[in-house]
Amino acid sequence: MSTAGKVIKCKAAVLWEVKKPFSIEEVEVAPPKAHEVRIKMVAVGICRSDDHVVSGTLVTPLPAILGHEAAGIVESVGEGVTTVKPGDKVIPLFTPQCGKCRVCKNPESNYCFKNDLSNPRGTMQDGTRRFTCRGKPIHHFLGVSSFSQYTVVDENAVAKIDAASPLEKVCLIGCGFSTGYGSAVKVAKVGMTMDEKTDYTKTVRNQKGSNFLQESEISFIDLKCR
């Protein structure tokens, strides 16, 4: 039975207050509006940025559904959506690509002005929300909110991927992998020595970028010896 155009009830991890545990709640996810996409989450990563919100280091409107590193399948689309269709495998993006602002038009950057990180609003790009819980509106996080079984994102913040892609692996591309890989590819120069002081997973991501550049020397420092 199709759920397109209908409110979906599902489970989500809601953060009601900083320095408090997540609460698994039943939430209502509204249908996507024009140029929006509703996604069924299949695989989700936990990024340090999510923990920064819990600790209060990164301030965003609460209550909210966090999460921004994920992969899923398109459940339905709003009017005017042309880049994806129901059934497509996709990665939601916390940095959208409007293609119109001066940052999007600059080949050296993709930090679109429509991002929700510089000045977090906790809404869709039109200023409204698609989540409710216990009769209350729930804020979005970075335009993604992947800690929900279903989420709604703007069309310019989702990327279609190959149908054969293993979602449990490619979900890391949304943030962690691209951050580490990009650091090595965009910042590192030939002849530089790379010292990696971070967790193991991001170390591996940086190493992939360094290997791509054929870096001469890579040093890893594990701050938490196991």
pLDDT, tens digit (0-9, with 9 covering 90-100), for 171-226: 999 887 777 777 777 776 666 665 554 444 444 444 444 444 455 555 555 555 55
Q: Residue 198 domain-assigned? A: yes
If asked whether residues 162 and 120 sit together in one domain, one would say yes
If asked whether residues 167 and 81 sit together in one domain, one would say yes
- The total domain count for the chain is 2
Q: How far apart are CA 203 and CA 19, in angstroms?
A: 28
CATH number for position 80: 3.90.180.10
Alpha carbon 172 to its chain centroid, in Å, reads: 9
Q: Residue 130 domain-assigned? A: yes
Nearest to 65 by CA among 32, 36, 23, 94: 23
Q: What is the dihedral of CA 4, 139, 176, 201, to 10 degrees?
A: -110
Nearest to 3 by CA among 34, 48, 27, 38: 38
Question: Does the pLDDT at position 4 exceed 60?
Answer: yes
According to the model, what pLDDT value does residue 13 have?
A: 99
- Which residue has tokens 């207050």? 17
According to the model, what pLDDT value does residue 212 have?
A: 47
According to the model, what pLDDT value does residue 191 have?
A: 65
On whether the CB atoms of residues 156 and 116 are closer than 8 A, the answer is no
Q: How confident is the model at residue 64 (pLDDT cuts 50, 70, 90)?
A: very high
Enter the tokens of residue 53.
Answer: 């919100």
List pLDDT tens digits, range 43-62: 999 998 999 999 999 999 99
Q: Residue 225 domain-assigned? A: no
Q: Residue 188 domain-assigned? A: yes
Active site residue ranges: 47, 49, 52, 68, 175
Query: What is the rounded average pLDDT of the residues 76-102?
Result: 96
Q: What is the dihedral of CA 66, 72, 73, 78, to 10 degrees?
A: 30
On whether the CB atoms of residues 36 and 20 are closer than 8 A, the answer is no
If asked whether residues 147 and 213 sit together in one domain, one would say no
Amino acid symbol at 125:
Q
List pLDDT tens digits, range 90-120: 999 999 999 999 999 998 777 899 998 888 9
According to the model, what pLDDT value does residue 107 have?
A: 84
Enter the tokens of residue 77.
Answer: 């689309």
If asked whether residues 29 and 61 sit together in one domain, one would say yes
Q: Residue 2 domain-assigned? A: no
If asked whether residues 21 and 59 sit together in one domain, one would say yes
Which residues form the domain of 192? 177-220
Could you tell me what percent of the chain has a pLDDT over 90?
67
Q: Is 129 exposed, middle or buried (0-12, 13-18, 19+ CB in 10 A)?
A: buried
Strands 217-220 and 193-196: what pairing? parallel
Query: What is the rounded average pLDDT of the residues 119-141?
Result: 96
If asked whether residues 141 and 183 sit together in one domain, one would say no
According to the model, what pLDDT value does residue 57 have?
A: 95
Question: Does the pLDDT at position 85 exceed 60?
Answer: yes
According to the model, what pLDDT value does residue 97 have?
A: 92
If asked whether residues 19 and 125 sit together in one domain, one would say yes
Enter the tokens of residue 37.
Answer: 């996409």
